[in-house]
Chains A and B, each alone.
Chain A
Amino acid sequence: MSAVCLYFQVHQPRRIKRYRFFDIGNDHEYFNDLGERDTNNGRVLRKVASKCYLPANESILHNLNAYPEFKASFSLSGVALEQFEEYAPEVIDSFKRLVDTGRIEILAETYYHSLSFLRSPDEFREQVRMHADKVHELFGVTPYVFRNTELIFRNDIAEQVADMGYLGMLAEGADQLMGWRKPTFVYHAKNDPTFKLLLKHYKLSDDIAFRFSNKDWEEWPLTAPKFANWVNAHNGDGHLINLFMDYETFGEHQWEDTGIFEFLRAMPHEVLQHPDNSFVTPTEALTNYAPVGEIDAPNYVSWADVERDLSAWMSNPIQHDALRAFFDMEQEVKRSGDEDILRDWRRLSTSDHFYYMCTKWFQDGDVHKYFSPYESPYEAFIAYMNVLSDMRLRLKGVPKRKRSAWESVAHKARGVLQAIKS
């Protein structure tokens, strides 16, 4: 039998506006672009709400009403939730209607969809707690299963999450993690038989998320019956088909005219045609099935790019430098006791800021460029570092940057001329 476990990620960062050197000390609003750029968060949010979240929720609600067996799960970052409240409250209502059916599970994550796990276990825990509070406040439910930013996973993260009392967590079923093993079973974390793991079936997930509208793909067009056949083919070959993807797949990455919404509505019916198939939530999956083995992840694994590692966020010097500068401020930010500064600092922990600075294949106009609101990775870095400089000034309580004294470097200039002419 095959139980389909659906998980959709909902996330929108607070993108930093074009923040110049001259703004340091003068402007403490980093995320309030109201112009025509893609760093206008309200504008982006309303656009994605109407293209994706609202129509996709309609489709999910239709499925829930039409098929009593249909179930799914969502993880909604706190930074996305608070922006819905701010710019498109109808999206919150729409998600509430889904959760109220009792067949939609909400997962735990860091409030800021952050990379806090990298350097600061304390901050990581705090953000997970903040997120759980927010989910409870809005939906009246408590998450039992955790998913980390971009499905980033490693043994020590599992340890921390287990220590926080979660039942289990989600991870990418990457080849380097699985080896010959299949993602269609439940596994457990290293040295901890009680902390269970669900591994993404990346082939079937990416068929929908990445390949659905690709006309060069030999399986195009992907229809619901065809997809259900692939699911059926796994019968006898495990328990679970874990379909994990960004919710923005529906209407934003795959546009409406590709037929993605029709697919979303038709898929449950086709899957349920087979008497052995069903849908499960992550908690049900982890409760119903015993782990068949241990997953040892000494290195980071994620669902990003072909490498499925951390290189999307930390591979070049500007990314490393920005992360270093960000974490260097943590103690001072927390000691300051200033709630506004702490909130802004946490908004800067969001993984997307570092993703925008990625230079891998920047020249080919690949996905990083597609998903970036900046003209280049360098613009993203410059705005980010200028904002950190302003944060440092705020921490010092200096309201305005002082003009530094003019020191003559004329003799040095002459030195340069000498050296060139020599």
Chain B
Amino acid sequence: MKVLMYGWEFPPHNSGGLGVACYGLTRALVGEGADVRFVLPRKYPVAQTGAKMVFADEANPLDATQARIYASGYVKEGDIEFLRGKYPELQYGPSLFDEVLRYAALSPLVALQQGADVIHAHDWLCIPAGLAAKEALGVPLVVHIHATEFDRTGFGQVNQGIYDIERRGVHEADKVFAVSAYTRQLLIDRYGADPDKVEVMHNGIDADDSAVASAIEGEMRRLKEAGVGIVLFVGRLTLQKGPDYFLAAARKVLSHRPDTIFVVSGSGDMSKRIINDAAAMGISDKMLFTGFLREKELARLYKCADLVVMPSVSEPFGIVPLEALLNGTPVLISKQSGVAEVVHNSLKTDFWDTDEMANKIISVLDHPALRETLATEGGRDARAQVWRKVAARCMMMYTKLLKVLSHA
């Protein structure tokens, strides 16, 4: 099975979950015996997976910093404007849309050079490139949706151009993979996707590629033994991730259980607002903002937390709860998240129900038995979600797709 896969970012210089998912899936597909050619728009150093890496534009390589800044699937046009001023030396296209189209323009040549049984394109950034490759080779196209414009904007200001590309991709693909049943429903409801065409393909996690720490050390251990509850938020500080709901719940918890620390790990356009709001609520001394943390630091944080909360407003999947569980920490997740479909043994609330969120946080902090049961049973759920299983299912879908089309 020869798979030509179009991605936008790839570890180690990824800025979002898309790169992590692409890495995990690619590595596992290679393990399943697939011949994967993974295409990126520009050349920069990437992690090894066993797949052949192909760069659409070999001529203009990026260094690590440039790659991280520009590779994100989450950048906005506004950010681009800002960055263009800051990095005039960058040879990248004049806008994100231009860059997406550039990728599509280079795609047919890549496709003809590499050849493929099936084309697999991730998210809107790669949809035009995927469609172009399909046209060039006449083989089936799988469009894999990790996040829609509705998720990224929290159902707010949807960019019509991006929506239109997503819509075309969903309609013109031969098969659509949605990262969760939650996302699948969204594609059907908001994009008019044919339900028969959309398959749920949950993300996986492997113990070795997540941030897993071995032990809690010194100071942290003493804090825990002193009975201080530690509640952790990990994610970009954007509307989509619901940090404001985390803050509201924190305030409610603190009025009943002052000996609790709320740790916010991540950065984003809401950083300032969240810090200011915490101050206005008078709970700054119980809040800890770590900024963006690298894997080892993040792993330690997971390990020392009593509970990880993911209050996302709209989360197509959400890998954070799986990382937390692999580190032995239980999770509280919003019902508006795809990961809730695979982590059965977790606490769940609506993202807006901060009363219930606070109730559950307090319960976990007050009852070690609850923490233990959630960690044990939830850990089982997380360990069952290995990429190998996802890739096997993916291979099955490719085969089925080829069979159906050859009979048509």
Q: Which residues of A contact B (CB under 8 A)?
A: 20-22, 316-318, 320-322, 359, 362-363, 375-378, 381-382, 385-386, 403-410, 412-413, 415-422
| Contact call B348/A318, Cβ cutoff below 8 A | no
Mark the stretch among B43-51, B81-89, B174-182, B368-376 that contacts chain A: B368-376
| Contact call A417/B373, Cβ cutoff below 8 A | no
| Contact call B377/A409, Cβ cutoff below 8 A | no
What's the nearest-Cβ distance from chain A to residue B136, in Å? 44
| Contact call B359/A20, Cβ cutoff below 8 A | yes
| Contact call A21/B363, Cβ cutoff below 8 A | yes
With A375-B348, A378-B347 given, is the CB distance from A321 to B219 under 8 Å? no
In whole angstroms, what is the CA distance A408 to B228 when docked?
11
Mark the stretch among B8-16, B197-205, B251-259, B398-406 that contacts chain A: B251-259
What's the nearest-Cβ distance from chain A to residue B41, in Å? 35
Residues of chain A within 8 A of B219, CB atoms compared: 415-416, 418-419, 422
| Contact call B255/A403, Cβ cutoff below 8 A | yes
| Contact call B381/A363, Cβ cutoff below 8 A | yes
What's the nearest-Cβ distance from chain A to residue B383, in Å? 12
Q: Which of A22, A320, A412 has the most CB atoms of chain B within a 10 A radius of its CB?
A: A412
Interface mask (B205-217 → A, CB under 8 Å = 1, otherwise 0):
0000000000001
With A320-B369, A359-B345, A378-B374 given, is the CB distance from A20 to B356 under 8 Å? yes
| Contact call A318/B369, Cβ cutoff below 8 A | yes
Interface residues on chain B, size class? 35 or more
Q: Is B161 an interface residue (CB 8 A)?
A: no
With A362-B344, A409-B258, A412-B228 given, is the CB distance from A417 to B370 under 8 Å? no
Instruction: Give which listed residue, B217, B286, B376, contacts A409 with CB less than 8 A.
Output: B286
| Contact call A406/B258, Cβ cutoff below 8 A | yes
Q: Which residues of B contact A (CB under 8 A)?
A: 217-220, 223, 226, 228, 230, 252, 255-256, 258-261, 263, 285-288, 290, 293, 297, 300-301, 304, 344-345, 347-348, 355-356, 358-360, 362-363, 366-370, 372-374, 376-377, 381
Instruction: Give which listed residue, A322, A363, A412, A418, contacts B226 with CB less than 8 A.
Output: A412
Known: A22-B256, A410-B286. 12 other contacts (CB 8 A): A22-B252, A22-B358, A316-B377, A317-B369, A385-B363, A386-B363, A408-B285, A409-B228, A413-B287, A416-B223, A419-B304, A420-B220
Interface of chain B, main secondary structure: helix
Residues of chain B within 8 A of A403, CB atoms compared: 255-256
| Contact call B258/A407, Cβ cutoff below 8 A | yes
Instruction: Give which listed residue, A321, A363, A407, contacts B369 with CB less than 8 A.
Output: A321
In whole angstroms, what is the CA distance A321 to B258 when docked?
24
Residues of chain A within 8 A of B293, CB atoms compared: 420
Residues of chain B within 8 A of A412, CB atoms compared: 223, 226, 228, 261
Residues of chain B within 8 A of A362, CB atoms compared: 344-345, 377
Residues of chain A within 8 A of B260, CB atoms compared: 409
| Contact call B377/A382, Cβ cutoff below 8 A | no
Residues of chain A within 8 A of B258, CB atoms compared: 404-407, 409
| Contact call B363/A420, Cβ cutoff below 8 A | no
What's the nearest-Cβ distance from chain B to residue A120, in Å? 21
Residues of chain A within 8 A of B368, CB atoms compared: 317, 321
| Contact call A421/B297, Cβ cutoff below 8 A | yes
